[in-house]
Structure 1
Amino acid sequence: MQLATPSRLDEPSPPGSGHIDFDEFYQAHFRAMTVQLCAYTGDLGHAQDLVQEAFCRAFSRWQRIVRYDDPVAWVRKVAWNLATSRWRRVRAAERFLRGQREEHVPGPSPDRVALEAALALLPANHRRAVILHHLADLPIAEIARQESVAEGTVKSWLHRGRTALAAHLTEGKEGKDRA
């Protein structure tokens, strides 16, 4: 589509030349363009925004556009270009989002929740010893070096920690069995 341009852009429009003012132009064409863009985009609100933006751009250039053979064609072209640009941005965003798939990770199992709750009830040194030995697979000698205590102390912490864990975990299981 070729837009008609005026012969001389510098000349002001002579009075009585048949040119309409912007308000009249807007009122005469906004509804029809909105209907066209609504059919294209499928969204009335978005169509109104696109047409409004096109008219805003026309308003800032009105002294030049009013002298075109068909100023409506200029506004329509701008509105359609805005709609096309939106479609391109939406497609690019959708392509990006498809590459950013959400990874669904299952929540903790009831046993894991019970173990964490039971560990939280232990004294800090017993809890550290149990975690380092059973979850981090550290030998007793390594835990003793890390905690700056004798190996016998670590063995004592492990024994007391495991005993307390067993009691807490059996209490929780018995409570579930009764319910």
Structure 2
Amino acid sequence: MQAEGDVVRLPVAKEEPLDFAAFFADEHGGLLKLLYFVTGNRADAAELMQDAFLKLWERWDRVERIDDPRAYLFRVAINGSRMRARAALRAARRLVAPASSTDPYDEIDLREDVRQMLSSLAPRQRAALVLLDLYGFSSAEAARIMGIRPSTVRALATQGRAVLRASGGPHA
């Protein structure tokens, strides 16, 4: 029980502004570790971490005032990871027809099949397909990333899909 004169403090916005650079320095290591455990891949974890910090930085004037910006950062990062995983699964389903059996190892086999099929493509075709179909970039965005024209990205992706279809697998 509290004495009659005690003050109860409720979680409210912070009174002093939080410096983004200091917040980044304090939190980036822990977030990278968390995302590494979630993704199993250091490069994916680093990219998701950068995306999460970018989103926070864009909204920093609001984020710095919330009670627990660390929790918000982690939620943004985990949501980004989930969105990327769902997009990759949708793209994999477009590239390879789902297995008809209920074997729990079929999903693992499907992922390995997709990896093998993508490795059979020329590097530029593979890059175009991954950027467009797995990561969901527009052809203009993929073109900027690859340093080529959007029409070239679309042509490379079309050629890559044709190679995948011709390889004998059940491709879309």
Normalised by the length of structure 2, the TM-score is: 0.49
The structure with the larger Rg is: 1
* TM-score, reference length from structure 1: 0.47
